[in-house]
Structure 1
């Protein structure tokens, strides 16, 4: 499966537990929605990613990716130290040029 560079980089940053690089794949005013909370801007996204990564030691394995225009849906197998691991989740993305402007995680 061929992934856009942005998505490939996001997955690699997550698997390397590099929250700084992870946040750099988002626009300055991007939003993330996960587990009933939302985060805005790179600083909040970095802090959210760092906190969840430290807590759950998450690793992502892409299963499928579909993109239509600026909207994409990435299906990933997420493993970590959380109940029910591994779990399949959907990352609903909105892309702006080569960055992510919105991410909603479901599953």
Structure 2
């Protein structure tokens, strides 16, 4: 297990929890997420994206954490019922005041 900042622990826990109970507590109100060439802005849009994008996902396992240009980059193994599973993706987070303000997934 790798040591992650609290907001990232909450994010990955929510990703692995079908109810997404704690999801709202890790993002800033005006956060921005970029995933699959789409941009999602604000909590409501981000939560809708997260539920839809993770429907076929059964597990996201953080493998490593590195800092790059002021961002926390988590490499994670993503498994589920989607074509090509599992895949390894980079989750690049910007944090402010303990909350996620930006997330880019590649």
Q: TM-score, normalised by structure 2?
A: 0.90
Once the two structures are overlaid, the 10-residue window that deviates more, 66-75 or 25-34, is: 66-75
Aligned to 2:24: 23
Aligned to 1:41: 42
* Counterpart mapping for 1:1-107 below 5 A: 1-54=2-55, 56-67=56-67, 70-106=70-106
Structure 1 residues 45 and 92: alpha-carbon distance in aligned structure 2, compared to 1, 3 A threshold: same
Runs (4+) of structure 1 exceeding 6 A deviation are none
Residue 51 of structure 1 and its aligned partner are, at CA, apart by 1.1
Asked whether the equivalents of residues 57 and 78 of structure 2 are also in contact (C-alpha less than 8 Å), the reply is no
Residue 20 of structure 1 and its aligned partner are, at CA, apart by 4.8
Within 2, Cα distance between the matches of 1:82 and 1:45? Answer: 21
* Bigger proportion of residues as helix: 1
> Unmatched 5+ residue regions in structure 1?
none
* Residue aligned with 1:16, SS: coil
Once the two structures are overlaid, the 10-residue window that deviates more, 96-105 or 14-23, is: 14-23
Within 1, Cα distance between the matches of 2:53 and 2:21? Answer: 14
Asked whether the equivalents of residues 19 and 47 of structure 1 are also in contact (C-alpha less than 8 Å), the reply is no
**Number of residue equivalences:** 105
Once the two structures are overlaid, the 10-residue window that deviates more, 62-71 or 43-52, is: 62-71
Residues 49-107 of structure 1, C-alpha deviation per residue, up to 9 Å, x if partnerless?
Answer: 111222x134110100123684110100000111110000000110011100000000x
